[in-house]
Structure 1
Amino acid sequence: MSGNGERVVFVLDAPGDESLHTGGTIARLLDDGADVTVLFGSATSYDSDASAPTTASAGAADVAAARAALGETDPAQWRVLAGEPQGAQRRAVLGEAFAQAHATAVVAAAVDPALRQAAVDAAGEQGVPVFLSSRVSAVPGVRLTAIDVSDHIDKKLAALAAYPGRWRLDGRVVRLIDGTEALVTGTETYASGSGPAQPAELEAPTVGSRLLAVLMALFAGALFGVLGTVAHQTTIELGSLTIPVGLTLALLASGTLLLGLRLVVHDRLVVLAAAIGLVATVFLLSLRSTGGSVLVPAGVPGTVWSMAPALFAALVIAWPRIPARRPTA
């Protein structure tokens, strides 16, 4: 959302959808100096329930008014795909349009699944990042990015008002012809995708994959416990100062392991497995062996190493999930 040198292409079903689904984002990008291109698959709106185009449409005057309300002065930046292509031809046409626009990002906000997938595929072929509007695509398990458009609500409402044939406005409530309602809020949310090789909709982990992750985390925790126990007594003498290098590195490593798993995997069970492997290994190695040797001798380093991993594990597992930070301009 920096706007500096960004060239963003929006793909939607028909005129009016750009204002309803992405109007605030378009207005914000234009205000930030970005180059915005809006492509419509058809001049006629798409009905997801009927899986076919509807009769609701917008005239050239409506489109011009909406475009001006959002801040776009170049009519050529908003256009319907020539000939309203279908199938593989549509993907080729979209790819050519992305190349001509030198797109740095594509926003696929089409309700028509074929058009939306064509946009994702065309962008993937050119290595351009794709963002799916969360209002037109179900994305379970995918983190959403919320764009703050609170400063551009008035522009979005003005653009929506340019399409009286498609809906009616009552304050911030948009009443569509089919009777459904949509509330205009200060955020517009998107899910990132990348093309056919990595779809935006991620499948939930299977029982087998989750079990494998738990076992690997348990092994990693045990390994870190062994290495930390062996190294935690290592010190460096600097004059009269004794620096516990081994204990410091052992604590950093164990804490990084637990925190990294929590941030990357987002599964408390996996983190718990790593914590069990770590804490159990430290406990077992702290016991006196049959030969009388002790790997964790009494003293401050041994006490800290025996207690700190369990404390780290409790904090990391109990810490609430932190929502994604909202992007800034």
Structure 2
Amino acid sequence: MTYFGSASDARQGDARPGQPSALRAERVLFVHAHPDDETIATGGTIAALVDAGAEVTIVTCTRGELGEVMPDDLARLRGDEAALAAHREGEIAEAMRDLGVRDHRFLGDPEARTHGLPARVYRDSGMVWRSDGVAGPTPDLHGAAFCAAEFGEIVSDLQAVVESVRPTAIVSYDEDGGYHHPDHVRANRAAVRVARLAEVPFFAVVAGAEEATGAEAEALAADDSVRTVDVRASTARRLAALRRYRTQVEVVDLPRGAAGIRFPHGAVTPVGTSESFRFVPEPDSRAAGPAGASEFADMTTGGRVATTVLALAAGAVFGALGTVAHQGTVTVAGAPIWSGLVLSLVMAAALLAGMRLLFGSRVVAVAVALGLLGAAALLSQPGAGGSALVPANGPGYAWTFGPLLIAMVVIAWPSLPQRGTGHDGGSTASESASAPTASSAGTQPTAR
């Protein structure tokens, strides 16, 4: 049997948890932000997959260096990020044994790193609790933090894992990371991007699904894209794995023999009997992000600055080439053809449109336009001998105003609809991942 189905099953919505499917083992990749997240959010499903003979790989993006330390007997770890990171490495290793997982990797380690690059550590980005009860970004982000890393580097490292294990499904958080922790949100973005690139079905954890009531519970039950896994058989193993994370959580007794998880901020949630996941159709990096998200928006500040400077330089180079070449002609049937002008305008249009489409940002297009127009304006000035590269003739005027008009059109055009979005009311991957039953069913508090 399969829990997440084959790629074709998932896309067609045919797979059902617990029902026989293709006679082959699933290979499921779970992408989580910190040690303990995998057990809290998906531990029961992980154990069920292992029991069913599936190949399970867990990727943990950080070591949780900034997490709280709950018990006083481990107070020595408080404020010592290196010691806490090492301790949490031990915690997750023991938890993996309890759940039966044999393939666990930290993102950036050699087995989860782009080939040819030296190993690196993605540091915990940290978080603060906002007044509305959800997590928010810390004001002093460390340069080595997961959220400070180039998005392309994260995706490339995760792609290396995908190429290694060739998963039949990828599982991570929904678009708000369950409770808005910056590392959870970034893990979602990277996992969705990699799933799209690899054409592998992506499933988002439906946080708080078991606690949903009323209309939300009815919507969950009627949603064909939601897979709910009965995890009661693995309760003992999940509790054992949870108890390994003494720094982050405490397993407590609840009425009627139930067990709960106490988190550092004091909240207690029951250990559930089921875990739910929503299939996100045609996962797309932009559709998975907020409205208006783009390749450029996914970059760090340094990456955006570098991209803008490179775009400015590329525009200047093309502007210089066009200024030099636009007066060129070829003779066809005795008539001169302004081939240089045509080629120069086509090059300018291709650069402007290509950069706008590639990065999905008007900022990049504006930088290209400034470089192109600036170079053309500079080189059009008469030289010491009075000669000019842009004479007052037809091609000269066309080259003077043509790139400006092209730039105005490219910068002004609206953002194109994302893949999977139509004008018939169809939902995007983002909307599917963030429908009421995914996030409004209740945020899932967790340790860091």
Q: Compute the TM-score of the two structures, normalised by the length of structure 1.
A: 0.53
Partner of 1:135: 207
Partner of 1:173: 260
- Sort the Cα spacing of 1:136 and 1:91 in 2 relative to 1 into closer, same or farther, 3 A: farther
Does residue 149 (structure 1) correspond to residue 231 (structure 2)? The answer is yes
Which range moves more in the overlay, 38-47 or 25-34? 38-47
Which range moves more in the overlay, 85-94 or 96-105? 85-94
Once the two structures are superposed, residues 264-311 of structure 1 have per-residue CA deviations (whole angstroms, 9 ceiling, x without a partner) of xxxxxxxxxxxxxxxxxxxxxxxxxxxxxxxxxxxxxxxxxxxxxxxx
Partner of 2:270: 183
Does residue 17 (structure 1) correspond to residue 89 (structure 2)? The answer is no
Amino acid at match of 1:182: T
Does residue 114 (structure 1) correspond to residue 186 (structure 2)? The answer is yes
CA distance in structure 2 between the aligned counterparts of 1:61 and 1:164, rounded to whole angstroms: 11
- For residues 1-329 of structure 1, the aligned pairs below 5 Å read 2=2, 4-44=24-64, 58-72=87-101, 74=102, 77-82=103-108, 83=120, 84=122, 86=149, 87-109=151-173, 111=181, 112-135=184-207, 143=223, 144-171=226-253, 172-193=259-280, 194-196=282-284, 199=287
- Sort the Cα spacing of 1:45 and 1:147 in 2 relative to 1 into closer, same or farther, 3 A: farther
- Sort the Cα spacing of 1:60 and 1:200 in 2 relative to 1 into closer, same or farther, 3 A: closer
CA distance in structure 2 between the aligned counterparts of 1:120 and 1:136, rounded to whole angstroms: 21
CA distance in structure 2 between the aligned counterparts of 1:126 and 1:132, rounded to whole angstroms: 17
- Sort the Cα spacing of 1:197 and 1:119 in 2 relative to 1 into closer, same or farther, 3 A: closer
CA distance in structure 1 between the aligned counterparts of 2:208 and 2:200, rounded to whole angstroms: 20
Q: Secondary structure of the residue that 2:153 maps to in structure 1?
A: helix
Q: Secondary structure of the residue that 2:62 maps to in structure 1?
A: coil
Compute the displacement of 1:120 (Å): 0.5
CA contact under 8 A between 1:14 and 1:46: conserved in structure 2? Answer: no
CA distance in structure 2 between the aligned counterparts of 1:202 and 1:191, rounded to whole angstroms: 18
- Sort the Cα spacing of 1:198 and 1:89 in 2 relative to 1 into closer, same or farther, 3 A: closer
Amino acid at match of 1:97: V
Compute the displacement of 1:71 (Å): 1.3
Q: Secondary structure of the residue that 1:5 maps to in structure 2?
A: coil
CA contact under 8 A between 1:166 and 1:177: conserved in structure 2? Answer: yes
Once the two structures are superposed, residues 74-128 of structure 1 have per-residue CA deviations (whole angstroms, 9 ceiling, x without a partner) of 3xx1121112263111011112211111111000135521221111011111100
Amino acid at match of 1:145: R
CA distance in structure 1 between the aligned counterparts of 2:290 and 2:104, rounded to whole angstroms: 32
Structure 1 alignment gaps of length 5 or more:
48-53, 211-329
Q: Secondary structure of the residue that 1:166 maps to in structure 2?
A: coil
Q: Secondary structure of the residue that 1:44 maps to in structure 2?
A: coil
CA contact under 8 A between 1:26 and 1:36: conserved in structure 2? Answer: yes
CA distance in structure 2 between the aligned counterparts of 1:201 and 1:132, rounded to whole angstroms: 13
CA distance in structure 2 between the aligned counterparts of 1:16 and 1:38, rounded to whole angstroms: 11
Amino acid at match of 1:91: V
Partner of 2:341: none
Once the two structures are superposed, residues 36-76 of structure 1 have per-residue CA deviations (whole angstroms, 9 ceiling, x without a partner) of 000011111788xxxxxx9775533211210111012x3xx
Partner of 2:126: none
CA distance in structure 2 between the aligned counterparts of 1:88 and 1:8, rounded to whole angstroms: 23
CA contact under 8 A between 2:98 and 2:237: conserved in structure 1? Answer: yes
- Sort the Cα spacing of 1:5 and 1:198 in 2 relative to 1 into closer, same or farther, 3 A: farther
CA contact under 8 A between 2:189 and 2:288: conserved in structure 1? Answer: no
- Sort the Cα spacing of 1:64 and 1:209 in 2 relative to 1 into closer, same or farther, 3 A: closer
Compute the displacement of 1:15 (Å): 0.9
Amino acid at match of 1:70: L
Q: Secondary structure of the residue that 2:262 maps to in structure 1?
A: strand
Structure 2 alignment gaps of length 5 or more:
4-23, 68-79, 109-119, 123-145, 210-215, 254-258, 292-422, 426-448
Q: Compute the TM-score of the two structures, normalised by the length of structure 2.
A: 0.40
Partner of 1:223: none
